[in-house]
Structure 1
Amino acid sequence: PGATGSIASRIAADAPPDGYTLYMPALSTFVSLPGTAPNLPIRLPHDFNAIGFAAENPMFVVVNPSLGITRLSDLIARAKVRPGEISCAVTGIGRLTHLTAELLQSRAGVELLIVPYTGGPAQAIGDVISGRVDFIIEGYSGIAGAVQSGLVKAIAVASEKPLAEFPHLPTVAETLPGFSATGWQVLVAPIGTAEGTIQKASEDLRSVVTDPDLQNKIAARGSYTRAMSPAEVIAFVAAEQRKWKPVMELIAKKTQ
């Protein structure tokens, strides 16, 4: 359901805690602009019982080859001498691509011309290909075809570690230490779900996300699994909320 995930979240939270209704919310329901919906952002373990971690999708920095830029450090250097001129496509206000662009500005000490697009990344990547926009920040699934065909060039990925599928692609953290930006999904259950049910679901999810065949298949699409216990999920989500809170506050101030 729509409404930035608030409808699905409300339905899942109100479901009987019998183990037959589980919910897999994404980062956007845990990190949202103030006033987006009365039941967002989700808080763990206040709103749901955590079960485990499903997958994450790191953001890629992708440029138009005509820029002549092959490294993130070069992009930052150019943005510093041309403040407010280097354009960056993002898909939506307050979504992860936008948050990543704002964090990049802050960490790199630059001012970008952020261009938000509605809907998916198709129009945004098209404008990068045509040269109307200089670069885009997006998950791999949204830019894979353009990257593979050579129409655009990936210069960095915002994963915590280098990706085996992209052995020659540096991480953003190699230029801006500690930088990471990934979309992610976790599995949760309504409050009141039996502890035994939580543990069984957590163990089953762990066996799925650690399966090598599954890992290889989704890695080809730019997604990566990571096994976590319920306690680790709670700690992970809390850390992500702390990381993105000042960025969300900055965006909220800009949009007032």
Structure 2
Amino acid sequence: MRQTLRFTRRLTLAAMMTLPLLLAAPRLAHAQEFPKGPVKIIIPFTAGGPTDTVGRLIAQKLQDIWGQTVIIDYKPGAGTVIGVDFVARAPADGHVIGLVNAAFTVNPSLRSSLPYDTQKDIRGVTQIADMQLALVARADAPFNTVQEMIAYARRNPGKLSYGNAGAGGTTHLAMELLKKNEKVDILYSPFKGSAPAHTELIAGRIDMMTDPFLSVMPYVKANRMKMIATFGDKRVAGYESQYPTVNETLPGFVASSLLGFIAPAGTPDAIVRKIAADTATVLRMPDIRARLQDMALAPVGSSPEQFDAFIASEMQKWSKVIADGNIRID
């Protein structure tokens, strides 16, 4: 009888030790088998621009790691909605992922309706990078710093104006948040793209603009625009001694344009983690880091949980700015 009890206990203990391995086996199998074929990265823009460039850089390296073809597929339109919707409806097996920017976190509040639920139909995979944004002024603007600009705006309400590449993006919302926090009256002039805004700023028909750092640097270097500050939490790598951040004057004020991978909800954790881990490996490569730095992009390589948390925090932050400013684009 005692031998039977001891044998039963051993069987029970063995079963308890084996069960976690059995439960983990399917997840491990998912990761080991992925990818089974070509992987498609959906870019919700037309070809060209920083999102496309980053997508191609990462795709080539992932292709080398996976030994499978990685295809860039463009699905532009409706402020990234068409491309994101394509990802949301794709099979949840990791073979279709999306590369999104800050519009992904803004659209739920900016648009009256979306064909997908941002937090239920999609999951974050990894944040690839932060894109640095900049506040620049016309070359002869009567201020040189954020503090001087705010003081000038308070003395001259409604006299200053700023532009950007179009309503609703982070370059718009960042400046609206600054205006609200500092209680300054600055007129807003949206343009259809960065190029016409650059032209108007250089001509002196607007006073300032917000745009990706990379886009305005050639004009700043040529003394056709004046750099006031950047919006990141740290100074732009390679320009630390030249350009301050807004949050050095206004502590805690940070705005950037994220770049990251998303996947359909229901994609197995093991596959999502593998994509995230392999992307992080790519981001540690010296040639990739150097190329991203040249584009004023700060590599991140977050975990899926970290990226989901960041998406949620960005959605919350910008939803308040959008609601307070009654901003809509449809």
TM-score interval for Structure 1 and Structure 2 normalised by the shorter chain: over 0.9
* 1:95-136 per-position Cα deviation (integer Å, ceiling 9, x unaligned): 111101101101222110111111x21110111111111111
- Kept in 1, the 8 Å contact 2:246–2:254? The answer is yes
Q: Where does residue 239 of structure 1 map in the other structure?
A: 313
Whose Rg is larger? 2
- The 5 A counterparts of 1:73-152 are 73-118=147-192, 120-152=193-225
- Kept in 2, the 8 Å contact 1:90–1:98? The answer is yes
- Kept in 2, the 8 Å contact 1:92–1:98? The answer is yes
Instruction: Find the partner of 1:39 among 91, 115, 120.
Output: 115
Seen in structure 2, the aligned counterparts of structure 1 residues 218 and 123 have a Cα distance that, compared at 3 Å, is: same
* 1:125-184 per-position Cα deviation (integer Å, ceiling 9, x unaligned): 111111111111111232122112111111100000122321221110011110011011
Say whether 1:215 aligns with 2:289. yes
More helix by share: 2
Distance of 1:233 and 1:90 partners within structure 2? 27
Seen in structure 2, the aligned counterparts of structure 1 residues 93 and 36 have a Cα distance that, compared at 3 Å, is: farther
Q: Where does residue 196 of structure 1 map in the other structure?
A: 270
Say whether 1:23 aligns with 2:98. yes
Seen in structure 2, the aligned counterparts of structure 1 residues 34 and 63 have a Cα distance that, compared at 3 Å, is: closer
Seen in structure 2, the aligned counterparts of structure 1 residues 191 and 255 have a Cα distance that, compared at 3 Å, is: closer
- Kept in 2, the 8 Å contact 1:88–1:112? The answer is yes
Distance of 2:272 and 2:128 partners within structure 1? 15
For 1:57, give the aligned amino acid: M
Q: Where does residue 42 of structure 2 map in the other structure?
A: none
Kindly indicate whether structure 1 or structure 2 has the higher relative contact order, using CA contacts under 8 Å at least 6 residues apart: 1
The percent of aligned pairs where both chains have the same amino acid is 28
Distance of 1:40 and 1:85 partners within structure 2? 41
Q: Which runs of 4+ in 1 moved over 3 A?
A: 33-37, 253-256
For 1:198, give the aligned amino acid: V
Say whether 1:66 aligns with 2:140. yes
Measure how far apart 1:21 and its partner are. 0.5
Q: Where does residue 11 of structure 1 map in the other structure?
A: 86
Count of residue pairs brought into register by the alignment: 253
Distance of 2:327 and 2:229 partners within structure 1? 29
Q: What RMSD in Å do the two structures reach over aligned CA positions? A: 1.8
- Kept in 2, the 8 Å contact 1:53–1:228? The answer is yes
TM-score, normalised via structure 1 length? 0.93
Measure how far apart 1:254 and its partner are. 8.1
TM-score, normalised via structure 2 length? 0.73
Say whether 1:50 aligns with 2:117. no
* 1:31-53 per-position Cα deviation (integer Å, ceiling 9, x unaligned): 1244354236722xx22232111
